[in-house]
Amino acid sequence: MTSFSDISAQLADQAIELPSWAFGNSGTRFRVFGQTGVPRDPFEKVADAAQVHELTGLAPKVALHIPWDRVDDFGVLRRHAQDLGVSLGTVNSNTFQDDEYMLGSLTHPDASVRRRAVDHHIDCIDVMDEIGSRDLKIWLADGTNYPGQDDLRARQDRLAESLAAIYARIGEDQRLVLEYKFFEPAFYHTDVPDWGTSYAQVSALGEKAFVCLDTGHHAPGTNIEFIVMQLLRLGKLGSFDFNSRFYADDDLIVGAADPFQLFRILVEVIRGGGYGADSGVAFMLDQCHNIEKKIPGQIRSVLNVQEMTARALLVDRDALSTAQQAGDVLGANEVLMDAFYTDVRPALAEWRESRGLPASPMKAYAASGYQQKIEAERVGGAQAGWGA
- The partner in contact with residue 338, picked from ligand PSV, Mn ion, none with C-beta cut-offs of 5 to 8 angstroms by kind, is none
- The partner in contact with residue 92, picked from Mn ion, ligand PSV, none with C-beta cut-offs of 5 to 8 angstroms by kind, is ligand PSV
Q: Which of 135, 150, 225, 241 binds Mn ion (CB under 5 A)?
A: 241
Nearer to Mn ion, 177 or 232 (CB): 177
Distance in angstroms (rounded) separating the CA atoms of residues 176 and 137: 6
Q: Is residue 54 at the binding interface for ligand PSV, with CB under 6 A as the rule?
A: no
The residues in 335-374 that bind Mn ion, with binding defined as CB under 5 A, are none
Kindly state the smallest distance separating residue 72's Cβ from Mn ion, in Å.
27
Q: Which residue number is nearest to ligand PSV in terms of Cβ?
A: 139
- The partner in contact with residue 181, picked from Mn ion, ligand PSV, none with C-beta cut-offs of 5 to 8 angstroms by kind, is ligand PSV
The residues in 105-164 that bind ligand PSV, with binding defined as CB under 6 A, are 139
The phi and psi torsions of 380 (rounded to 5 degrees) equal 85, 165
Q: Is residue 225 at the binding interface for ligand PSV, with CB under 6 A as the rule?
A: no
Residues pairing with 92 in the sheet: 65, 137
Q: Which of 98, 249, 316, 328 binds ligand PSV (CB under 6 A)?
A: 249
Kindly state the smallest distance separating residue 213's Cβ from ligand PSV, in Å.
10
Q: Is residue 74 at the binding interface for ligand PSV, with CB under 6 A as the rule?
A: no
Q: Is residue 191 at the binding interface for Mn ion, with CB under 5 A as the rule?
A: no
Nearer to ligand PSV, 80 or 181 (CB): 181
Q: Is residue 214 at the binding interface for ligand PSV, with CB under 6 A as the rule?
A: yes
Nearer to ligand PSV, 108 or 181 (CB): 181
Q: Which of 17, 69, 150, 214 binds Mn ion (CB under 5 A)?
A: 214
Q: Is residue 90 at the binding interface for ligand PSV, with CB under 6 A as the rule?
A: no
Q: Which of 176, 286, 306, 336 binds ligand PSV (CB under 6 A)?
A: 286
* Contacts with ligand PSV, 168-197, as mask; x by CB under 6 A: -----------x-x----------------
Nearer to ligand PSV, 150 or 286 (CB): 286
Q: Which of 17, 44, 286, 307 binds Mn ion (CB under 5 A)?
A: 286
Spell 47-86 as b/e; 16+ CB within 10 A means b: bbbbbbbbbbbbbbbbbbbbebbeeeebeebbebbeebeb
Binding-site ranges for ligand PSV (CB under 6 A): 92, 139, 179, 181, 214, 241, 249, 286
Binding-site ranges for Mn ion (CB under 5 A): 214, 241, 286
